[in-house]
């Protein structure tokens, strides 16, 4: 596959917290035939320099790119548009990224969301995941890693769902329509939460380790930050269990992982 490799390096950090990228070099490598991609990515970022860098990089990889310069515009485009993935900054004018992410999920949109932030504290990452983000990267970031995370999110979102509606007491899961309801009310889930729930449903009564879930749902290796699995499981319990402190659907198997027990 012909691939264009382009490395963006951070060359300065301005007083207004803008990140400026410089282009070192690029080369064309051959690894087979180039496969055109049609995925549409919405980038919600107020820094023009970063928008230009991402525009060049993503388009060079075959993606269609749309931009929003503030949170309100980003929210409207995410809800009304038909993008396949959202790259969302946190520090935005008019509406911050946390609120945008939350409102996207409250609107029932399950598009994958990758948060892009200069805030590297663990609490910010956990908060982003809990309100519906599927992944995050901290600025400054490596463009190659960003592309790998984008590809993983898009690849997982395209896995065919098992037909039919699954019922687990008051919880109904429409795997084809990507809709989850509890007691007749729609439950807003992030794309990653839905993917995790679907994997649990498809592997009911099977003990699944964190390593397996990271590999099969996140497409990550086993040596990455594992708290992300626990955060997503806790979020699903809060939304689906009658008593999240004593879960009956997604139970913990001490020392081994989790099991979905319908």
Q: 211 with 190, same domain?
A: yes
Element (H, E) at 80: helix 71-80
Q: 151 with 227, same domain?
A: no
Q: Where do we find the tokens 């060049």?
A: 56
pTM of the model: 0.56
State the pLDDT at residue 45: 95
- Looking at 157, 192, 210, the residue that finishes a domain is 157
Q: 149 with 203, same domain?
A: no
CATH of the domain at 247: 1.10.10.10
22 token code pair? 């410089």
Q: 29 with 92, same domain?
A: yes
**DSSP letter string, 1-14:** --EEEEEEEEEEE-
Q: 19 with 144, same domain?
A: yes
State the pLDDT at residue 219: 75
Q: 188 with 211, same domain?
A: yes
Q: 226 with 197, same domain?
A: yes
Angle at the Cα of 225 from the Cα atoms of 219 and 231, rounded to 5 degrees: 90
Q: What are phi and psi of 64, to 5 degrees?
A: -90, 130
- Looking at 157, 177, 200, the residue that finishes a domain is 157
State the pLDDT at residue 179: 85
pLDDT in tens, 245-262: 999 999 999 999 999 998
Q: 44 with 113, same domain?
A: yes
Domains in the chain, number: 2
CATH of the domain at 87: 3.40.50.2300
State the pLDDT at residue 2: 33
State the pLDDT at residue 131: 82
CB 49 within 8 A of CB 62: no
d(Cα 164, Cα 172) in Å, to the nearest integer? Answer: 10
Nearest CA-CA partner of 257 in 243, 217, 238: 217
Q: Where do we find the tokens 């003990």?
A: 207
Q: 138 with 183, same domain?
A: no
Q: How far is CA 66 from CA 5, 55, 61, in A?
A: 22, 9, 15
124 token code pair? 């910010």
What is the domain range of residue 210? 165-260
Residue numbers of the chain with a pLDDT score lower than 70? 1-37, 119-120, 159-164, 221-226
- Looking at 157, 188, 217, the residue that finishes a domain is 157
Rounded to whole angstroms, the maximal C-alpha distance in the chain is 57
Peptide bond just before 140 cis, omega within 30 deg? yes
């Amino acid at each position: 596959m012909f691939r264009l490799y382009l490395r963006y390096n951070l060359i300065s950090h301005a007083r207004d917290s803008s990140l400026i990228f410089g282009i070192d070099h690029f080369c064309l490598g051959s690894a087979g035939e180039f496969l055109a991609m049609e995925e549409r990515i919405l980038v919600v970022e107020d820094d023009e320099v970063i928008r230009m860098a991402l525009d060049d990089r993503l388009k060079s990889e075959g993606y269609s790119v749309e931009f929003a310069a503030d949170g309100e515009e980003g929210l409207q485009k995410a809800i009304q548009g038909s993008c396949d993935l959202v790259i969302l900054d946190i520090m935005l004018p008019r509406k911050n990224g946390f609120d945008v992410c939350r409102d996207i999920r409250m609107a029932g949109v399950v598009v994958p969301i990758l948060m892009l932030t200069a805030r590297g504290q663990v609490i910010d990452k956990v908060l982003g995941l809990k309100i519906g983000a599927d992944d995050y990267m901290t600025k400054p970031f490596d463009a190659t890693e960003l592309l790998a995370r984008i590809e993983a999110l898009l690849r997982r979102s395209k896995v065919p769902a098992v037909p039919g509606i699954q019922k687990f007491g008051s919880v109904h899961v429409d795997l084809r329509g990507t809709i989850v309801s509890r007691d007749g009310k729609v439950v807003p889930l992030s794309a990653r939460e839905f993917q995790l729930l679907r994997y649990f449903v498809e592997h009911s009564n099977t003990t699944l380790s964190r390593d397996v879930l990271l590999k099969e749902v996140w497409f990550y290796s086993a040596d990455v930050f594992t708290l992300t699995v626990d955060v997503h499981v806790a979020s699903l319990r809060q939304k689906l269990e009658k008593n999240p402190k004593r879960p009956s659907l997604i139970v913990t198997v001490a020392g081994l992982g989790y099991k979905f027990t319908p």
